[in-house]
Structure 1
Amino acid sequence: MFNNVKKLLLGNGLAQAIQFGSIVFLSRIYYPADFALLTQAQSIATILAVIATLQMHLSIPLTKGVDEARNTARIVESLSFFLFLVTFPIAIYFGKIYIFAFVLTLAVAVSNTCNSYLVFSGDFGRLSGFYIKRALLIVGVQFGCAALSVQDGLLWGAVIGEAATALYLRKATFGFSKIHLGLRAIWETTLRLRSFSFYGTTQELTSVAAFYAPLILFTSTLGADIGGQYAMVNRLVWGPTILLTSSIAQVLYHQFGKVPPRRGDSHSLSYLFLDRKIFLAAILGCLIAFQLEDLYLFVLGGQWGLASKMLPWGMTWGAVFLMSIPFRVACRVLHLQKYQLFVDGVTLSSIWLMFTFSGFTPIGMMQGLVGIAFMQNALLALAVWLSIRYKAPDMAGA
């Protein structure tokens, strides 16, 4: 497992480095309004991509054979194209930003579907290479658009890069085969995988809302300055965290697809804990993080004093999320999305109630977020443990 995680971390890490490194130069070429336009389109696409596949692409690594995996991938791909064709007139009506966002959504949906098939196949080397090629193409097109003075070149670069790499990935995965919009097959698969398509999609949208809620609530309740301080913490913490957790999750999907955790088999619980070294390193990292506030302030600058104090709590939140990844993957493997939806709904409500009624200081809010995150992930772990240990299929919602 560790070798596969290293492959994905190498590819994803280099891709992140390419894109973050390019910001130093792109920020001098493009205006703030260009970055705002890109962020808007990517935010819309992030939400729509959840709906475009109805989260059924996550079932592909859990299929039992190559034929089933390919057939499921082709049906999910057909669903994405069908929804794009049906809804694209809406994008045209609402204007440019939505046109870009809808095309970006389709590209991301196709890429996610092909990526899930590569996870099923255990082809982590190709998946790692895809991340690097994608980053190079996006950044290259963005610089090219700037050289040619293309309007909205930053956004064009992202859309063209995502679309081109999605086509490349599809060709590498399925060749030049046609897309068949079999509506009956789509409907039957949607019903068969309802723990992903219905509960999973709703759960993921709720989870995304819970993730973005503090970004909005810090500003709306405590003001733009404090909101900006939290935004910096969010950017510094969650970029590396998502890089690490997404790589681990993809490998776990492949592993659980081959040897799924079994209800009634206590031995299966041993697969749900990360390596002890990772666990101890996360705890040690959190303890050290609280001793480095002066270093954060030195690196960020004098205007980021509050962010420097919030950062260790943000890192603790990220560590809690890291430890929960095997259980989050297991929730989908065991079809516990209905329960996960309930937990994420409680989490979102708790965050809103804390910001609305608590009167906490900014640091108190960060401490509250860590506490809520611990509660959320402990409940998910408990659900998985009960499902395996005591055979609780009634929680599956399948």
Structure 2
Amino acid sequence: MLRRLLTLRHSRFLRSAATLSSGQFAATAIGFGFAPILSRLYSPADYGLLATYMSVAVILSALANLQMARALVAEADEERARALLALSLLLAFGFSGLTLAGVLVLGLSGFGGIERLGFWLFLLPATVLASGSGGALMGWANRQHRYRLMSGYQLVNVLASSGGALLLAWAGAGARGLMIGYFLGQFLSLLWVWVGNRDVLPTLRRVGWTRMRDAGVAHRNYALWTTPTSIIEQVSQASPILVLSLWGNMLTIVGHYNRARGLLMLPVGILGGAIGQVFFRRAAQDMARDGHCRPLFWRLVAGLTAISVPSFAVLALIAPQLFVFILGPQWEEAGHIARILAPVMALQLVVMPASKVMWLYQRQRLDFFLSILFAVTTTLSVASVAFLGFAPEIAIDVFAGVQILLYLVYLVTSILIVERDHRTRQGQAADAAPLQP
């Protein structure tokens, strides 16, 4: 046992995973540590404006490099990967220019609701450029096993954005400090990853358009399938924010909603992501050995249900008081919204790892169509609140209700896949058994 532990200590995979995980945990802890301070310096309306901007920016950023940054990680050939990096950076600059043109058109046309963003709207092109180029350089860092650089990217972002917002609030910048801190985090994290990959940047000048085009064509499925899926998913997640802010002009409620969901997602994202990775690795081993992972799947579902249901039930009971205690008295409404979202998060914690059986049982196409159904149904349901004339606050209730139903669909589908495979194997075993005289 001791020899095995000493061997694991020298494992490159474990060291790399530990480096990335430690950066993520540290960034999360820092962000959570700043939350009680910043929430007392900035109002829910300030956070609502930031959430609105970030929602629009994330949707546009999904287009920034047509997801070619993912392709360069998987590409086996080094020269083609270099061409994909050059193409990703070129696309980021191109879509940044298109975003600027779109912003100017919207500004001149007086598009309803968009004026809520004011001057910040004209910084969207810079955000798209930072996201697209930063994502491409992070993909290259991943390819080169520069995990300290990747870990530092998260830390620089949260330290610059939260620390900058804190200093600007003390300096008397007012509500602008939160937005400026966000841009400061984007700029410095991009600078960090740019400097960290400075060795590859001069070599990109030798990459011609033909090589970039060929590399893009070879990985065109990322543009044709992954990009639209990513956009739809981002729209579905942002739909309550967009409805409440751009249609309902309710930045205060948006701030409460975004703060509640963001804090609830911290444990779900960390715990669900870590358990999902471990489950996927263990389940893949079971599939290779036994052809199925049914026992492990049911242990996962039972264990996560035992953790998530009581945890989020208690949270739903004490959420308003807890948010007031941690964030301050002005955030009581965020606690009530957290109570509404608690069942969603409880289901998400179970479904995130469990639904990976779709990949293990070769149901990727089903997973794709379910993700589209999830995104489209959520978006249309929330948008219908606006068109049917209901109060904008109902959008949060609709969003939570629809997501609960859709997560249940995901869970039931995962169970059916595992159980139908089990029944099929039982039938095959019965047919193969010798007949008794």
Q: TM-score, normalised by structure 2?
A: 0.66
Question: Which residue type is aligned with residue 310 of structure 2?
Answer: I
Distance verdict in 2 for CA 1:283–1:186, change over 3 Å: same
RMSD of the TM alignment (CA)? 4.8
- In the TM superposition, what are the counterparts of 1:137-156 in structure 2 within 5 Å? 137-146=160-169, 149=172, 152-156=176-180
- Residue equivalent to 1:136: 159
Contact 1:50 1:204 in 2 (8 A): yes
- Residue equivalent to 1:208: 234
Q: How far does residue 44 in structure 1 lie from its aligned partner after superposition?
A: 1.8
2:348 to 311, 318, 338: 318
- Residue equivalent to 2:94: 82
Distance verdict in 2 for CA 1:381–1:60, change over 3 Å: farther
Q: TM-score, normalised by structure 1?
A: 0.71
Distance verdict in 2 for CA 1:335–1:112, change over 3 Å: farther
Q: How far does residue 24 in structure 1 lie from its aligned partner after superposition?
A: 3.1
Identity of aligned residues (%): 17
2:196 is aligned with 1:172: yes
Secondary structure of the residue that 2:216 maps to in structure 1?
helix
- Residue equivalent to 1:124: 147
2:403 is aligned with 1:369: yes
Question: Which residue type is aligned with residue 16 of structure 1?
Answer: T
2:133 is aligned with 1:110: yes
2:52 is aligned with 1:40: yes
Deviation per residue, 1:225-278 (Å, 9 max, x gap): 9999866653333233334566788x89xx99xxxx9xxx95697799999986
Secondary structure of the residue that 2:197 maps to in structure 1?
helix
- Residue equivalent to 1:390: none
2:369 to 325, 336, 342: 342
Q: Tell me, which stretches of 5 or more residues in structure 2 are unaligned?
A: 1-12, 108-117, 325-331, 386-393, 421-437
Question: Which residue type is aligned with residue 99 of structure 1?
Answer: F
Distance 2:152 2:59 in 1: 26
Deviation per residue, 1:23-46 (Å, 9 max, x gap): 433344445554343323222211
Contact 1:77 1:109 in 2 (8 A): yes
Deviation per residue, 1:162-217 (Å, 9 max, x gap): 12221221221243724659554444333322221111111111112232345667
Distance 2:255 2:289 in 1: 46
Secondary structure of the residue that 1:81 maps to in structure 2?
helix
After superposing the two structures, state which structure 1 stretch, 300-309 or 74-83, moved more. 300-309
Q: How far does residue 64 in structure 1 lie from its aligned partner after superposition?
A: 1.7
Q: How far does residue 365 in structure 1 lie from its aligned partner after superposition?
A: 7.4
1:285 to 295, 300, 307: 307
Q: Tell me, which stretches of 5 or more residues in structure 1 are unaligned?
A: 387-398
Distance 1:112 1:11 in 2: 17
Distance verdict in 2 for CA 1:184–1:3, change over 3 Å: same
Contact 2:38 2:166 in 1 (8 A): yes
Deviation per residue, 1:334-375 (Å, 9 max, x gap): 995x76553233224444677769xx9x98974652331242
Distance 2:268 2:71 in 1: 23
Contact 1:203 1:340 in 2 (8 A): no
- Residue equivalent to 1:240: 267
1:160 to 184, 187, 194: 184
Distance verdict in 2 for CA 1:166–1:270, change over 3 Å: farther
Contact 1:75 1:185 in 2 (8 A): no
Question: Which residue type is aligned with residue 46 of structure 1?
Answer: V
